[in-house]
Amino acid sequence: QLQLQESGPGLVKPSETLSVTCTVSGGSISSSSSYYWGWIRQPPGKGLEWIGTIYYSGSTYYNPSLTSRLTISVDTSKNQFSLRLSSVTAADTAVYYCARRGVTRYFDYWGQGTLVTVSS
């Protein structure tokens, strides 16, 4: 059974960089050409926002509203992919989810999410 697990700092100061890593178990991140890996976030009490998606080769595409601050990377040797968001503000406070993106552009496996709070 495929499992995804996010790990993050919990608390980040304004203007600093937020980093979250997703560890995939129960399957290889590079085992199938059909799957991409994505990040989605959810501010407390609000809806879902797609952040970006990466292929195991390193190919990425990002939400245009976050592109200037965002880097998503993959480490196939560790079966992980990561998110870095720079110059954070309180508006970046959210639960950050990692997920697997299936063939027809749906997200079928999700991590449990990690809450990242931006505050001084």
Partner 1 sequence: EIVLTQSPGTLSLSPGERATLSCRASQSVSSTYLAWYQQKPGQAPRLVIYSASNRATGIPDRFSGSGSGTDFTLTISRLEPEDFAVYYCQQFGTSPPMYTFGQGTKLEIK
Residue 10 binds partner 1 (CB under 8 A): no
The residues in 47-76 that bind partner 1, with binding defined as CB under 8 A, are 47-50, 53, 61, 63-64
Residue 105 binds partner 1 (CB under 8 A): yes
Which of 40, 18, 14 is CA-nearest to residue 112?
40
Question: Taking the complex as a whole, how short is the minimal distance between the CB of residue 89 and partner 1, in angstroms?
Answer: 21
Residues in binding contact with partner 1, number by CB under 8 A: 21
The residues in 80-99 that bind partner 1, with binding defined as CB under 8 A, are 97
Query: Which CB, 8 or 38, lies closer to partner 1?
Result: 38
Of the residues 33, 104, 119, 120, which one makes contact with partner 1 according to CB under 8 A: 104
Q: Are strands 18-25 and 3-7 parallel, antiparallel or unpaired?
A: antiparallel
Residue 44 binds partner 1 (CB under 8 A): no
- The amino acid present at 54, given as its one-letter code, is I
Task: Indicate the SS3 state at residue 74.
Answer: strand
Write a three-state SS string for 10-51: CEECCCCCEEEEEEEECCCCCCCCCCEEEEEEECCCCCCEEE
